[in-house]
């Protein structure tokens, strides 16, 4: 009987922990994301979508700006996961590389900008505790991780763009044909 009682208590503790986590998400990150998304949309509407898109097209015509500058600014300012929304201002053929570069940069700068991905700070802190135990400074590791991240996102963005172009060329797919296929297919119900 005691074992059954302990099992039920443990089960309800698990359910309560899940509920507490859900409430934390519902009152923490979800409102923050909604406000950030609203703010970005407001800024775009105030400036004008056409002007923003023209400016973004000019800025992202350069591979370094596309896979280095824009992802870094997006990640530092908009954080995870909203940073990827800046990809909407890119040409279709550049979006996969941008997403790869941006998502690859959520971890490297955590030592300098912990607000970027607070849910994953434990990974950085696990390493940081070991370094501090050795009596070493965290600053060199943080700077090296940031710089290594810059190299990685540039390379990944370029490689992903090239792989996407090759795959599309092999299958005879063009960016315009992607829109045609999307228009032809009926939208499925969510549930």
pTM to 2 decimal places: 0.69
Are 68 and 41 in contact, with CB atoms under 8 Å apart? Answer: no
How confident is the model over 26-42, as pLDDT tens digits? 776 667 667 777 877 78
Q: How confident is the model at residue 179 (pLDDT cuts 50, 70, 90)?
A: low
The predicted pLDDT at position 34 comes to: 73
From residue 44, alpha-carbon distances to 36, 91, 154 in Å are 12, 17, 26
Tokens standing for residue 84: 């990827």
Question: Where is pLDDT greater, at 18 or 159?
Answer: 159
Tokens standing for residue 129: 């505790």
| Percentage above 90 pLDDT, the chain | 25
With vertex at residue 145, the alpha carbon angle to CA 73 and CA 79, rounded to the nearest 5 degrees, is 30
Work out whether the CA dihedral 76, 47, 68, 29 comes out positive or negative.
Answer: positive
Spatial CB neighbours of 56, under 8 Å, sequence gap ≥ 6: 89, 90
The predicted pLDDT at position 191 comes to: 41
């Amino acid at each position: 009987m005691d074992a059954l009682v302990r099992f039920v208590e443990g089960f309800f503790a698990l359910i309560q922990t899940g509920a507490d986590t859900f409430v934390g998400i519902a009152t923490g990150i979800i409102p923050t994301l909604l406000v950030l998304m609203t703010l970005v949309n407001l800024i775009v509407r105030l400036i004008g979508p056409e002007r923003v898109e023209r400016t973004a097209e000019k800025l992202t015509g350069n591979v370094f700006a596309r896979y280095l500058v824009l992802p870094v600014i997006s990640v530092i300012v908009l954080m995870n996961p909203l940073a990827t929304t800046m990809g909407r201002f890119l040409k279709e053929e550049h979006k996969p590389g941008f997403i790869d570069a941006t998502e690859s940069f959520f971890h490297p700068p955590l030592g300098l900008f912990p607000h970027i991905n607070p849910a994953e700070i434990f990974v950085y802190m696990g390493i940081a505790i070991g370094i501090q135990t050795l009596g070493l400074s965290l600053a060199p590791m943080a700077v090296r991780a940031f710089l290594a991240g810059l190299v990685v996102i540039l390379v990944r963005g370029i490689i992903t763009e090239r792989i996407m172009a090759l795959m599309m060329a092999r299958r005879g797919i063009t960016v315009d044909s992607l829109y045609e296929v999307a228009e032809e297919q009926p939208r499925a119900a969510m549930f």
